Structure 1
Amino acid sequence: MARFERSELEEMVRRWVAENKRCEEKGDWKPLAEMYTEDATYGWNYGPKQEFMSVGRDEIRDYALGQEMLGLEGWTYPYQEFVIDERSGTVIGFWKQVNEGTRADGRHYSPEGIGGSWFRYGGDFQWSWQRDFFDFGNVSAMFLDMITDNALSPGMHQRIERSVSRDPLPGWYRIGESPVPLW
């Protein structure tokens, strides 16, 4: 593995956080695709039967940052902390997922548990690899609360309908069948 200067990785994180905030404000995460190498991969687990994987910058833009973020307008993902390893070029960022809507008690809808992204730096201020992790059980429970409270946006209703349809979604694979291993 290549060594990187700590200052370069810290600058990458600074740029990443700034671009994330800009994209959240616009409700469009697709511009983040430019922060990945052409051949980058980005994936996560969707529970016991499915995982998601995008291979290449175009799939990351279209599927991970496009299709998979539809219905999440009004959500933010504030990073809480980063761990940086300049020896390996690995960065781990811990984030929350927070909806603009609030519960009856005034708290924002936000899953309990830990969410995060594990990145591998590819140089030139681009990620070559990203894997997200989150507590699927807590995320599911939060969305059930939102359904019960009639707090889902129209876009989230469409997202749920799309994901439970029998039509396969691009980037979704049965566990172990994605074109690139999740781990």
Structure 2
Amino acid sequence: MAFDSAELEEMKKRWLQANVDVEKAGDWRPLAEFYTEDATYGWNYGAEHDFMAVGRDEIRDIAIGLEMDGLDGWTYPYQTWVVDAESGDMIGLWKQVNEATRADGSHYALNGIQGSWFKYAGNFQWGWQRDFFDYGNVTALFTEMLTDGVMTPGLRGRIDRVLNATELLPGWYPLGQTPVPMW
């Protein structure tokens, strides 16, 4: 299904502004309104786990709720987009940057390439989203922040929740076993 280029550009504009707004508020849950009721949102968590939220409620409560809790002070500025009006595929490449700075003045930020692949569903909503980032670089960055003493209590609590889990956390699945295909 082909989409109008102006509609896709407007979707991108709305999405970018909403991201700025939720980053300032420190709560990403309002972004859930950008997804269809049956949308899915997933990503890989390294060599053993994938994450998948199925439906707008899980996206709000788990993917951009529980999974983003503790990430106060982080921004995800989009750097560029690739948009295919024929398929509705939109890829936004972003950075993950923390407000804390190192001794040299640089911000703690995730190395490598990060991004989101969206499937536009019309009506200014996503049908699905798949994120990609280097999980090893996330681990290295969080370790550096912990060592440097700049990790916030919220981020520390988030990491402790993951490290101390005795069973799979909500939305976490063994690699390749998500309820809907990752790709």
TM-score over 0.5 for the pair: yes
Counterpart position of 1:98: 97
Identify the residue that residue 149 of structure 1 maps to in structure 2: 148
CA distance in 2, matches of 1:97, 1:111: 5
Structure 1 residue 11 displacement after superposition: 0.4
SS at 1:69 equivalent: coil
| Structure 2 match to 1:132 | 131
1:138, 1:54 → 2: CA distance? 23
Structure 2 residue ranges without an equivalent (≥5): none
Deviations 1:9-63 (A, max 9, x none): 0100000000000000000000000000000000000000011000000000000
Aligned residues: 182
Q: How does 1:1-183 map to 2 (within 5 A)?
A: 2-165=1-164, 166-183=166-183
**TM-score under structure 2 length normalisation:** 0.98
Helix, strand or coil: the match of 1:105? coil
Q: Shift of residue 106 of structure 1?
A: 0.7
Which moved further from structure 2: 168-177 or 57-66? 168-177
CA distance in 1, matches of 2:38, 2:110: 32
State how far apart, in whole Å, the 2-side matches of 1:167 and 1:67 are: 16
State the shift of 1:139 in Å: 1.4
For structure 1, the residue ranges without an aligned partner over 5 or more in a row are none
Q: Percent identity?
A: 62
For normalisation by structure 1, the TM-score amounts to 0.98
4+ aligned runs moved over 3 Å, structure 1: none
